[in-house]
Structure formats: C-alpha cells, structure tokens
C-alpha cells in the first residue's frame, strides 16, 4: 500500500484526487474496511496526533435522466496511518427512512464540512454534515451534523417539515460544552442553511 508522504505537523487538510484515491484504496483495502459503496470523496488531514483519511461513500442506487443521483445509504470511515498501515478510528452509517415522508435520497453535504483545529490544541475536530430529501425535497427531509471532539461523536439532528409543528431539532447535551469557536461555527452553518432554503430550525434549540 502506498500512502501519501506525511505532511507537516501543523493541522492541515486536503481533498485527494481520483488518482490518489485509487492508489491508496485498492480492492484489498476496500475489502478490509468493508468499503462496499462507491467512494465519493476522501479527505486527508494531519494534526499533531498523526495522519488521517476520512472516506465518504454513497450507495448510488439510481441515476435519473437529468443525471441526479439517488442514494439509499451512506457510510463514512475515518482511518489513521499507524506504522505504514491504516487503522479504523471511527465510522458512521445512515440510510433513508421509509415512512409517511417517503425519503428518496441521502447524501453528504460537503459544502458544510470542516476539518479544523477550533480550540488551538493541535488536534483537528472534523465536522460532517449530511441530509435527505423526501416528497417535498428539502422541505421535509432530515439534516444531521456530526462533530468529532476528543473521542466523542456529538450530533445535531433536525427534521424539516412543511408545517411548523412538523419541525424538530435535537441537540446532544455534549454540544453545549464544546469550545465557543466550534459552537459558533455550527451556528453559522445553520444560519447559512436557512438562508439557502435548506432548513428552518426550531427557534428554541
């Protein structure tokens, strides 16, 4: 397995090219880490604790005539380089929900991602965001923020709805003890989503 050369010790991140992804994530690597869906994107990030690869995969279940891709499932896996080998640190899995809302696709919202050191301790705190669409598009889909901080997986879960009483925002208690800069970053993402008509968050969250 050929890995990228280690970067400087300062906290950095980049998106790998298709060629880099193919070189690092061979069929044997995919089999070992059960990467069964097509790889959508890979982030390579480095901090004082080492070098990591965050691998995003989406199931690509169907493609419409207008080239829109519909995914029923997604998976992200975070891998650390340890003595020249990859070791899994964490993973997340989710899928569409078939209920009265009839979700039709789930995907990573990478424009809201961040791989940054928010509190200046030399460690990157990844922020991943993904969502779903349903019968009314964004209006009745779900959104989830996943924050990885000091070994914790902290989530914000939001259900959009056409009517006010259908909307619900759930915040893990651990979110409120996060560094202020990190909390402000999440709040700014939520504000941007509202401006982009992708969400209406409950006023009391």
pTM of the model: 0.91
Distance CA 24, CA 201 (A): 39
Question: What's residue 6's pLDDT?
Answer: 41
pLDDT, averaged across the chain: 92
- Per the CB < 8 A criterion, the answer to whether 143 and 131 are in contact is yes
Q: What is the arithmetic mean of pLDDT over 79-101?
A: 93
| Per-residue pLDDT at 205 exceeds 80 | no
Q: What is the arithmetic mean of pLDDT over 179-193?
A: 97
Considering only CA atoms, which of 182, 172, 177 is closest in space to residue 205? 172
In sequence order, the 6+-apart residues with CB closer than 8 A to the CB of 54 are 42, 43, 45, 76, 77, 78, 79, 115, 126, 128
- Per the CB < 8 A criterion, the answer to whether 15 and 42 are in contact is yes
Considering only CA atoms, which of 194, 148, 190, 139 is closest in space to residue 172? 148
């Amino acid at each position: 397995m050929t890995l990228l050369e280690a970067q400087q010790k300062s906290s950095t991140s980049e998106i790998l090219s298709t060629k880099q992804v193919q070189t690092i994530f061979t069929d044997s690597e995919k089999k070992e880490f059960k990467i069964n869906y097509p790889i959508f994107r890979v982030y390579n990030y480095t901090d004082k604790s080492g070098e990591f690869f965050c691998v995003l995969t989406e199931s690509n279940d169907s493609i419409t005539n207008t080239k829109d891709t519909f995914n029923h499932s997604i998976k992200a896996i975070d891998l650390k380089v340890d003595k020249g080998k990859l070791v899994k640190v964490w993973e997340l899995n989710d899928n569409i929900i078939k209920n009265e809302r009839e979700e039709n696709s789930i995907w990573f919202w990478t424009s809201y991602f961040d791989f940054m050191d928010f509190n200046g301790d030399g460690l990157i705190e990844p922020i991943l965001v993904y969502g779903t669409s349903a019968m009314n598009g964004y209006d009745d889909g779900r959104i989830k923020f996943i924050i990885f901080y000091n070994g914790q997986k902290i989530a914000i879960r939001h259900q959009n709805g056409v009517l006010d009483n259908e909307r619900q925002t759930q915040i893990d208690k651990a979110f409120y003890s996060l560094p202020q800069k990190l909390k402000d970053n999440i709040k700014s993402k939520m504000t941007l989503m509202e401006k982009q008509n992708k969400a209406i968050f409950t006023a009391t969250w």
